[in-house]
Amino acid sequence: MSFDEMLSMFDSACCVMSIEKKADGQVGECRIITSNDKYVISMGLDKKPDNILYHTIVPKDDVFEAHCFDCAHKGLRLHYYQQIKTMNMWIEVVMLPLQGQSRKSGGIVVKYMMFDYRFTETVSAEMLADVSRENGAAIVRSCVYLQEKGSFEEQTQKVVEDIRQTIGAASVGLIQLDHEHKQALLLAEASEEEGQKKLSHRIRVLPYKVFADWSISVVNDSIVLTSESDFHKLSLNNPAWTHAMMEDGVKTLCVAPLYDDEKGILGYLYAVNFPVENADSIRELMVLESYFLRMGVLKNDLIIRLQRLSNYDVLTGAYNRNALKQRLKETEDQEQEISVVYADLNGLKIANDTYGHEAGDRLIVEAVRLLKDIFGEYEVYRAGGDEFVVIVTAPKKEFDDLLSALERLLTERDDISFSIGYSTKDADEKLERVIERADAMMYERKRQYHSEHHTMRA
């Protein structure tokens, strides 16, 4: 990842600087190598800086240079606030050491750092508190992990495992909230024992609303629970969440939200069962880690959106044909019971020809809505213009009940009609063959429909 690519992930003004260490050990030239667009705008520049001395933009400052030197050459992660009285504002500064160095003639060593800042009108005493050396080192490691090659899931897995070991927690994880599709996604989870990896199960069985409602209790930058009275207070607003934690043996909890000014809460970083005596330090680390992780989550959210565009039908929100092809490639558990419905929407051509394509689109949308109402959590695919596939991973009895419910509903409706085929997977059979059987049954029923209604293609 280049410096420019790294900086583009940050939603605050930031730049990469090169800091010289002269042969006598003193600080030399401090240059701005490159920046993101927000830095250019905030500084009133015409273009991105390209290896320029920092004091060509702002006044030379010995204290600032000392901080830059400590960050780049001593590997210190710095976070502080400075008041700008002329503007009646505070500036929040974050400096992070970056990997890599070079040498110049005369024994000069050059190392790199990232400088990040944002303005705020007020600063609390808590915000001004010094960050511990241990937490600073953990933040540096996390930033390094987030710059390594690999997927975001692989990067965050390293981050949460490092946090877990640093704070001595039983488990640490990162949740992303997909508000648009009402889903909670577990991006990474690290536990000291494999048996303690229970949140992945909780996310599957608890509704999205439980996780979305964490915002009711996490009202500031974090929530820390270390006693029975703390959990009792939480239960008043989040009974389902509290009950789930009690079942999983959670004794202490720290949750830090990943917050974006425009999108609100993107997700949560959590830690459970850590030493109570270190709660304050752990809260500090979790809040700082969430600050950096949220930028990665924003990028991951964009990737998820692009994936959805390739796997979801834009008109109906159902899975599309590409998603169905991917589903067929998946390895299937031979013991899993799977049944398929293949439904062809009758009358779409007549609707398009008589009332226009907008009316046809409305009919297609209603068809998907009806199928989702009947089959609920199971997978609904738009396999073609007027063809739909439903994959039901449930016992045969449950599938038969759902199929009967669909057929009853269709007899009650005079505004929508399907030709339906269906089939159930045999033990060693491929899913593709099951769909082919259901398609063949659908085609025969479609032929009967055309014969009864004296149409060629309706």
Give per-residue pLDDT as tens, 302-351.
Answer: 777 777 778 888 899 899 998 898 888 774 555 578 999 999 999 898 88
For residue 255, CA distances in Å to 55, 219, 252, 289, 426 come to 41, 11, 10, 11, 46
pLDDT value at residue 125: 44
Give per-residue pLDDT as tens, 386-439.
Answer: 999 999 988 999 999 999 999 999 999 988 999 999 999 987 888 899 999 999
Q: Specify the pTM.
A: 0.48
pLDDT value at residue 268: 92
- Cα–Cα dist 336/381, whole Å: 20
Amino acid present at 323: A
Which helix (H) or strand (E) is 186 found in, with range? strand 183-191
For residue 189, CA distances in Å to 162, 165, 171, 257, 285 come to 11, 12, 7, 16, 17
Contact 171, 191 (CB under 8 A): yes
Instruction: Select from 3.40.50.300, 3.40.50.2020, 3.40.50.970, 3.30.450.20 the CATH code of 3-129.
Output: 3.30.450.20
Give per-residue pLDDT as tens, 254-280.
Answer: 998 888 877 888 889 999 999 988 887
- Cα–Cα dist 36/24, whole Å: 33
Give per-residue pLDDT as tens, 22-62.
Answer: 988 888 999 999 999 999 998 889 999 999 999 999 888 77
pLDDT value at residue 128: 46
Give per-residue pLDDT as tens, 137-169.
Answer: 888 888 888 888 888 889 999 999 999 999 999
Which fold would CATH assign to domain 321-453? Answer: Alpha-Beta Plaits (3.30.70)
Could you tell me the residue ranges of all domains in the chain?
3-129, 134-307, 321-453
Whether 3-129 and 134-307 share one fold: the answer is yes
Give me the sheet containing 379-382, strands edge to edge. 379-382, 387-392, 339-345, 418-424
Instruction: Select from 2.60.40.790, 3.40.50.1110, 1.10.10.60, 3.30.450.40 the CATH code of 134-307.
Output: 3.30.450.40
Contact 68, 111 (CB under 8 A): no
User: For the packed helices 396-412 and 357-375, what is the interaxial angle rounded to 10 degrees?
Assistant: 140
Say whether pLDDT at 455 is over 90.
no
pLDDT value at residue 30: 96
Q: How confident is the model at residue 458 (pLDDT cuts 50, 70, 90)?
A: very low
**Which residue has tokens 């009919």?**
363
